[in-house]
Structure 1
C-alpha cells in the first residue's frame, strides 16, 4: 500500500525537526521518516565528552529555546538529545521510526519514497539525513597492514576504551581537537596528534555565537550585493572549548605534521623515523549521506547536488537541508538550520495546490 502526503521529510535529527516545525506552521500534510530507534539524530551516538560550541540559548531550533544545562556553560550531547526529544513532543511532529528511506524516484509528477516499511507518495521531499552516517577516511599507505585498531570519529566514545594504549588522532578540526584533548587529559593514554596543517585555534572568547553572527553577516552582504565579508574559516578551525583550552594550556596538544604511511605496529614520519601505535582515530570528517537520492540522477562531478537555496536545481520538488553551507549558511548547526528550514517550507507551501 502506498501512503500519500504533501511532503515527506527524510531524517529526524535537528534539520528534519526544524523543517517539520515550519511545515506545521504552513499547515501542510507531512511526515518525518527517521531511521533511528529513538529521537536525537546523530547526537545520540556522539562521544561522551562532546560539548556544544555555544551556550544553550544560542543552540536552539526555531520556536523553543534550549534550556540551560545545570553546571555547564556549553551543553553536552545527552542534553541535546533530551532537548530534541522534547521538541518533537512539544510540536507533536509526526515522526515515524525506525523507518529508513531507501530510494526516491520520479512517479507521475510526484516523488515516490521507498522505505524499509512501505512506500510514500509526496508532492515534495525534504532530504535532511545529514553527514554522520557517511564518515570519510582518507586513503593512506599501510592502512591494510596496520595491526592495531582503526576507528572513525563515529566509533569513539571515551578514553577508557584506549587505556594503556598509544593512540594517534588524525584531524585538525573541532572533532580532532576535542578527541585529542580528551585523550591527552587521560593519565593512561599516550597521545600523538596529527594534522595536515598547523592547528588554528580561535580566540578563547569566540564560540558558536560569533561564528553564527559571522555567517549571518556574510549571507546578508551577499544577498545585498555589498561584497563577500569572508566565511568563518578565516577566523580559525578549532573552537577552544574548556577541555581543549585545558589540554592546550598544559602543553598537551602539540600537533605533528601528517605521517607518510602506516606499518603493522605504528606510523612512519616524513623523515623516515617511526612511532609505535596501538590505535588510530580518524577525525577526518564526513560526506553528505545522499545514497537514497541516487535514482534521481542529480549529483554533479563533485558529488554535490546543485541547489538554489535549499531547492535542487534539476528537481524543484526536492529540498536539501542541513548538509553544510551549500544548503544554507550554517545549516549544519542547531541555530543555523532554522532560516533555511523556514525558506524551504515557504517554497514548498507556495507550490502545493
Structure 2
C-alpha cells in the first residue's frame, strides 16, 4: 500500500525528533519512520557507563529542557532515553517504530520511500539516520587470524562481560586491547578502573587530552565559532581539533591520573593470540575492542546516486545538492555545526524544516 504525505523523516533519534519538532511548527503533513522498535535512538544501545559530557540543561533538544538527573551532574544514557521518549510524546510526533526504510527513489516528481511495511510518496525527505548502525572496522593484517573475541564500540556494554577471559595465571586476569581515540579512551578507562582485566590502549597517533575543565558546552561554542568564521571567509580557527582529541571525562581523568591509561602506538598486525608491533614487541590478548568510529548510514539513499568523496553527499547546509527535496541531518559538521549532538542539532533541524516549508 502506498501512502501520501508532504514529508518523511527517516530516523527518530535526536536528529529526527528535532526535525519533527520544527516540522510541527511549520505544519506540513509528515511522518517519522524508525527502525528501532522503541524510542531513544542509539542511546538505548550505549554502554552502561556512558555519561553525557554536558549537564542536562546544556544537552536539550529545541522546545524542552532536559531535566536534571537526581544525584548526577552528567546524565547517563538511560536518562537520555527517558528524555527522548518523553519528548516524542510531549509533541505527539507521528513516529512509526519498527519501520526500517530500505530505499528512497525518485518517482514522478515525488520521492518514494520504501519500507518493510509499506511505501510513502513524499514531496520531501529528511534523512536523520546517523552513524550508529554503520560501525567502521579498519583493514589490519591478521584480523582474520586472531582467535580471541573481536567487537566494536557498538557491542561493548560493561567490564563484567570480560571477567575470566582466557586462562589467566594464578592471581592474574585476561587481557584486552582497546583500539581508538575518544571512545577507546573511555572504554579502556572503564575496563582499567574495574581492575579485572589487563588493558592495552592503542591509538593511531599520540592522543591529546583536552583540558580537564572543558565539557560539551565549551566544545559546542568552539565548533559554532569555527563555522561562523568559515562562513564569513575568515581564517579557520581549527575548532575542537585545535584543543585536543580526547575529552577528559571523569573516568578518563581518573584512569589517566592513576597511571592506568598509557597509550601505545598502533600495532602492525594481529596474530593468533595477540598483536605485534613494528619493533618486534608483542602483546597477548583474549579480546580486541575496535573503537575507530563510524560511517554515515546512507545505504537507503543509494538509488538517488548522490554519494560523493568518502561516502558523503555534497550538501548546501542540510540540503543535498543533487536532490533539493532531500535534507540530511545529524552527521556532525558535514550537515551543520555540532549537528551530531543533542544541543547542536536544533539549529540545522530548524533550517531544514524552514527550507522544506518554502519548497512545499
CA distance in structure 2 between the aligned counterparts of 1:244 and 1:61, rounded to whole angstroms: 27
The aligned counterpart of 2:68 is 68
Deviation, 1:228, is: 2.5
CA distance in structure 2 between the aligned counterparts of 1:181 and 1:15, rounded to whole angstroms: 29
CA distance in structure 1 between the aligned counterparts of 2:269 and 2:228, rounded to whole angstroms: 44
The aligned counterpart of 1:292 is 300
Deviation, 1:76, is: 0.7
Query: Which runs of 5 or more structure 2 residues have no equivalent in the other structure?
Result: 165-173
Q: Secondary structure at the match of 1:185?
A: helix
Q: Secondary structure at the match of 2:311?
A: coil
Equivalent residue pairs, number: 351
TM-score by length of 1: 0.98
1:79-131 CA distance string (max 9 Å, x none): 10000000001100000011000000001111000000100010000000000
The aligned counterpart of 1:150 is 150
1:137 maps onto 2:145 in alignment: no
CA distance in structure 1 between the aligned counterparts of 2:25 and 2:235, rounded to whole angstroms: 34
The aligned counterpart of 2:242 is 234
Deviation, 1:239, is: 1.2
1:104-183 to 2 correspondence within 5 Å? 104-164=104-164, 165-173=174-182, 175-183=183-191
Deviation, 1:218, is: 1.7
Q: Secondary structure at the match of 1:169?
A: strand
TM-score by length of 2: 0.96
The aligned counterpart of 2:83 is 83
Backbone CA RMSD of aligned residues: 0.8
1:14-70 CA distance string (max 9 Å, x none): 000000000000011100001001000000000000111111111110001111111
Deviation, 1:269, is: 1.3
The aligned counterpart of 1:203 is 211
CA distance in structure 1 between the aligned counterparts of 2:156 and 2:219, rounded to whole angstroms: 26
Query: Which runs of 5 or more structure 1 residues have no equivalent in the other structure?
Result: none
The aligned counterpart of 2:170 is none
Q: Secondary structure at the match of 2:334?
A: helix
Q: 2:273 aligns with which of 258, 261, 265?
A: 265
Deviation, 1:199, is: 1.3
CA distance in structure 2 between the aligned counterparts of 1:45 and 1:313, rounded to whole angstroms: 33
The aligned counterpart of 1:325 is 333
1:247 maps onto 2:243 in alignment: no
Conservation of the 8 A alpha-carbon contact between 2:225 and 2:239: no
CA distance in structure 2 between the aligned counterparts of 1:330 and 1:151, rounded to whole angstroms: 27
1:280 maps onto 2:288 in alignment: yes
CA distance in structure 2 between the aligned counterparts of 1:137 and 1:302, rounded to whole angstroms: 15
CA distance in structure 1 between the aligned counterparts of 2:229 and 2:177, rounded to whole angstroms: 41
CA distance in structure 2 between the aligned counterparts of 1:171 and 1:305, rounded to whole angstroms: 26
